[in-house]
Structure 1
């Protein structure tokens, strides 16, 4: 024996306590941990203490970053909507026919869901009442802006005579299709799915063939 004290291992999934003053990095760490916990045990089951323990903070220290649990959830939702909005803006700024941009927009939405499954669950699948409070909240505003931009692009396709039906029904059917493939694959990973890209392409081909004119 060397005489050197043996340190207890750090529990899996938790951070060791870190020095004060890490600002943005610490805040991001809290958001990442809370996102996982909200999905794992639900918003009601998640506590400030549990989130604080996950990142190696005291509850008091966590309150220095966020005044309450709902503020953490709001920031997670706003951040996710903001990232998706930025990706959409890139597609909308591209040239080309509206129907081409529409498909790219939907493919980007699906890719976002698979790349951010926990955030996607929170903003589109399991969001509690606290995340929906206030029509003027930033998350509500961003989500509304995303959908309005999507619908406006479909209106553009319709104005060129490219729709089989009316705009609102087409928009909702397309969104439902994209949401369905993401939500099913991230919540039912044990199902014997075909390759994700193959399934996405097959679903998109069917939607566009049925809802848009050639």
Structure 2
């Protein structure tokens, strides 16, 4: 079963006078349709039908499907960025904050599988209508902040190596776990919390080994 298939049942067409469905409802429905059908296969008609609107009514909220995809990705990155800012501001050792950020990134991916796929796993050719710009800009900001914490850990002597390389290793490790478990849900995975904890233990033990 695809992730998109567990979405809420299709709404019936909204009767006249009931008003337009909220933007959030449109975005939630569109996430599943983009993931299941891809950018090219997703249409305004499909999205409108899913939320019980006419295509004309949906166009009152969004100019086109590119704008919808753009906003889905922006919302995902904004949520993640705000959570990371709170962790970065904590009065804790750099390694503690690094691990917290990695674990929060993983938790975000599992809690928002559709948005995660669209932001991180959708081929660039399918996001050429602006979503890749959101990912590049906000994602770059997140990564720069992450590198700054790695630099702090290197300055304190608790990590050794080039900060940008170390930051990419940590991020790639977190991303890989979310990506494979999200896209291969049929595999008999071990307990998720155990997998995350074991991977983080191994990763940080390896990076801090003398």
TM over 0.5: yes
1:189 to 174, 177, 185: 185
* 1:49-88 superposed matches below 5 A: 49-88=45-84
How far apart are the structure 1 equivalents of 2:76 and 2:42? 20
Contact 1:70–1:130 under 8 Å retained in 2: no
Unpaired runs of 5+ residues, structure 2, are 1-7
Write out aligned runs for 1:147-166 (5 A). Answer: 147-166=143-162
Partners of 2:13 and 2:52 within 8 A in 1:
yes
Q: Tell me by how many angstroms 1:16 deviates.
A: 2.1
- Shift in Å at residue 17 of structure 1? 2.7
Contact 1:78 1:139 in 2 (8 A): yes
TM-score relative to the length of structure 2: 0.89
From 24, 27, 50, give the equivalent of 1:28: 24
Q: Quote the residue 2:165 is aligned against.
A: 169
Compute the RMSD of aligned alpha carbons: 2.0
Compute the displacement of 1:13 (Å).
Answer: 1.9
C-alpha distance in structure 2 between counterparts of 1:85 and 1:127, whole Å: 22
Cα–Cα, structure 1 residues 204 and 97, in superposed 2: closer, same or farther, change >3 Å? same
Match of 1:104 in 2: 100
Q: Distance in 1 between matches of 2:113 and 2:32?
A: 10
Contact 1:132 1:140 in 2 (8 A): no
Larger Rg: 1
Aligned equivalent of 2:43, options 40, 47, 61: 47
Distance 1:56 1:35 in 2: 16
SS state at 2:22 partner? helix
Give 5+ residue unaligned stretches, structure 1: 1-11
Asked whether the 8 Å contact 2:69–2:131 carries over to 1, the reply is no
Q: Which residue of 2 aligns with 1:16?
A: 12
| Pairwise CA distance, 1:96 | 1.2
